[in-house]
A and B are shown apart, each in its own frame.
Chain A
Amino acid sequence: MSGHGAKEFNIKWGMVIDLDKCTGCGACMTACQVENNIAPVLDASNKLRTLSWILVYELSNKKAAPDAEIAYLPRPCMQCGNPACVPVCPVVATDKNEEGGIVSQIYPRCIGCRYCMAACPYHARYFNWEDPVFPKGMEKALSPNTSARPRGVVEKCNFCHTRLMKAKDKARQEGGNPEALADGAYMPACADVCPTGAITFGDLKNPEHKVHELAKSEHAFRLLEKLGLAPQVYYYTRREWVRKLGDNYAATGKAGAEKKHS
């Protein structure tokens, strides 16, 4: 499976999410919903119908009290180097072809077949079962950064891509190089609001960006590493049981992944 080479670009936008700092407060989910114009739904407890581009999972070490431990794991789109969703799209509505490696999703092009959803092992993709209906007046609080999607199309996290475009414009305006943004010049909404700063964001290939070193840490891991999809999202934890859970569908059937780095 990992025979396919990951697509490489000069810039590789990525995250290192420190699970030892995530309190599971949900600020990232709310900020994401606001940034990306996701309409509130009447029954948000029906998780098959909600759209959560970033979803905070609760992990448990499955031990009885008093040894019980939990950890929270925010899951954005992994922006895989070798995405499973892209080759299955019959209409090229999703692609990984832009510098930076963010997997795009073009809503007007999507035909809603949901092959990509079936392909994605991270459940990062969501289908619009309903049209976006905002409570009366709330459409005045829509973010200018993401177009509204009609029902019948698939959507997912794109690392708040419009923020990247804006950061590039700002760099151009200030005479800088839009292809060499400074660390922190471009931040997705989740990383921006996180009150514990659990999400570090930057160019994994740029040594001046914090994520470059962090991703190489012995405490860093990626979800389902052995599938060979080469996610651009790394997790970081000192808790071994959490790292082991990160690879729970490993090809070997055994928990715990070998460390591999790009």
Chain B
Amino acid sequence: MYDAGKIIIGLIVFLGFATFPIWHDGGKAVSAPEPEITAYAKKIGHCVEPEKWMRANHMQLLDHWRDAAVREDKRVYVSSTGEEYDISLQNTCLRCHSNKEKFCDRCHQFAGVHELYCWDCHLESKEMKKWAATDESF
């Protein structure tokens, strides 16, 4: 083999570059951002369904909520724990989770779920932030 030294050194350098991500971040996962729970939500203490289930299935729940309310006029959700909730993204979900940026957007950004257009229509307004700020008004 001609120029064996150069080639081998070149190969080592190439392998070093090619495998850089593996030995640099090897075994470590980038930590997912934690959704921030508002003080009001903490006071309430529970979501419509158990937190773990909500994390995995909130998108299905929101879809079912939408169809039930809009198309079947069933506007009350009886959760698996037997509690009743008004079906409303703006008036029920956002009452606790009034911090959309730190509750919804953060994780969606991380997970690459950008195509949602909920907020083109549903209001995430200052008024709602005011509700959350004045806990005692409920």
Report if A and B associate in a common complex.
Answer: no
Report which A residues bind B (CB closer than 8 A): none
- Write the residues of chain B forming the contact surface with A, with a CB cutoff of 8 angstroms: none
